[in-house]
Amino acid sequence: MAFSMSEELLPVFAPIIVYWIGAAIYQVTLCTMEQYRLFTQEEEETQNLATRSQVLVGVLVNQAMQMGLAMLMFMSGGLVPAGSSTARSPSLIRVVGQMAVATLLMDCWEYFWHRWTHENKFLYKHVHAMHHHMVVPYTYGSQYIHPVDAIMGEILGGFVVILVCGMSPRTAAVFFSLLTLKGLDDHCGMWFPNHPIHRWMTNNAAFHALHHQHVGTKSNYSVHYLATWDLLLGTYLPVSVEPRKDGGYQLQTAKDE
C-alpha cells in the first residue's frame, strides 16, 4: 500500500523537485554568465514591480497549495484513470502517444485561459497581473502566479489531461516535469544561441520574454512547447534576438523598428 501511494504522489512532488533544481542551475548561470542575459540588471531592478523575495514567497505558497489539492485528488483515487494500474507498465509507444496528445491539450487549454486573463479586464487586474509584475522575468518566478491562475490554468488543466489521456502516475510525473523545465526556460531571461529550443522552436525564451514586455502583453499567449493557437488566431508577434552593444542580448520586434 505504501508503494502504491508513493507512485500516485509522483506527479505531485517530482515537478516541484525538478523546479527548484532547475531554477538553481539557471540562477547560477545567470550570475556567472552575464553574456547570455536578455535584460540588464538595471532593467530588472527598475522595471519589476515585485521583489525577488516577494516572488520567492509567492512561489512557495503557490506550490504548497498545489501540493495540497493534488494530494487530495490522487490519494482519493480521483486522478487514477480506469485501467491505468501501476502493476503493468504501459508500452513506450503508448507513453509517447499519451504525452503527444497531452501536449496538444495543454497547449489549447493554457492558450485560451491565458488569453482570457489578458483580455478580461477584471481577470487581468485581480488575477493575472500578479505574474506580470515581473516585466523582466527570471527563472524561479515561473510559478509566481495568482491562486486562481494556478487552479484554472495549471491544476485543472493538468487534471483534465491526466484523465483524458489515461496517464499512469509515472507518465504524468515525467510529463509535468518536462513542462516545468520548459516553464523555467521560458522565464530564464537568457538567450543561448545554440540551445535547441532557443534556436529551433518558435515558443522559446525570447517569445515569452516579449510577452512580459509591455509591447507584447497582448500577444504570444502560448505556454510550454507550442505556439499553435497564436499562429492560427493572429496573436503571434515575431521577435528576434540581437547582440547588445555593451554585452548580452536584447529583444527586437517590428514595432521597435
Q: Quick: pLDDT tens for 7-45.
A: 778 888 999 999 999 999 999 988 888 899 999 999 999
Is the pLDDT score of 1 beyond 50? no
pLDDT of res. 77: 58
Say if residue 215 is exposed, middle or buried (CB neighbours under 10 Å; 0-12, 13-18, 19+).
middle
Beta bridge partners of 250: 242
Higher pLDDT, 206 or 87: 206
Higher pLDDT, 80 or 137: 137
pLDDT of res. 5: 45
C-alpha cell at 38: 536578455
What pLDDT band is residue 107 in, cutting at 50, 70 and 90? Answer: very high
Cα of 44 vs its chain's centroid, Å: 20
Say if residue 7 is exposed, middle or buried (CB neighbours under 10 Å; 0-12, 13-18, 19+).
middle
pLDDT of res. 126: 97
Q: What's the pTM value of the predicted model, to 2 decimals? A: 0.89
Three-state SS annotation for 7-71: HHHHHHHHHHHHHHHHHHHHHHHHHHCHHHECCCHHHHHHHCCCCHHHHHHHHHHHHHHHHHHHH
Which residues form the domain of 94? Answer: 2-256
Residue 48 phi, psi dihedral angles, 5° rounding: -70, 140
Is the pLDDT score of 127 beyond 70? yes
Residue 253 phi, psi dihedral angles, 5° rounding: -125, 170
Rounded to 5°, the CA angle 170-176-182 comes to 140
pLDDT in tens, 218-253: 999 999 899 999 999 999 999 999 999 888 999 998
Q: For 64-73, 163-172, 206-215, which range has the lowest pLDDT when averaged over its residues? A: 64-73
**Residues sharing a CB contact under 8 Å with residue 9, sequence separation 6 or more, in sequence order:** 71, 74, 75, 169
Distance CA 184, CA 74 (A): 25
Compute the average pLDDT of residues 90-116.
Answer: 94
Cα of 184 vs its chain's centroid, Å: 6
pLDDT of res. 76: 64
**Number of domains forming the structure of the chain:** 1
Compute the average pLDDT of residues 152-169.
Answer: 90
Assign 242 to helix, strand or coil.
strand
Region of 213 (left: φ > 0; alpha: ψ -120 to 50; beta: rest) is beta
How large a percentage of the chain has pLDDT more than 90? Answer: 74
pLDDT of res. 88: 64
Distance CA 106, CA 111 (A): 8
**Residues sharing a CB contact under 8 Å with residue 230, sequence separation 6 or more, in sequence order:** 111, 219, 220, 221, 222, 236
Is the pLDDT score of 145 beyond 90? yes
Is the pLDDT score of 142 beyond 80? yes
Distance CA 165, CA 172 (A): 10
Distance CA 155, CA 159 (A): 6
Distance CA 181, CA 15 (A): 8
Is the pLDDT score of 198 beyond 60? yes
Residues found in the chain: 257
Is the pLDDT score of 78 beyond 60? no
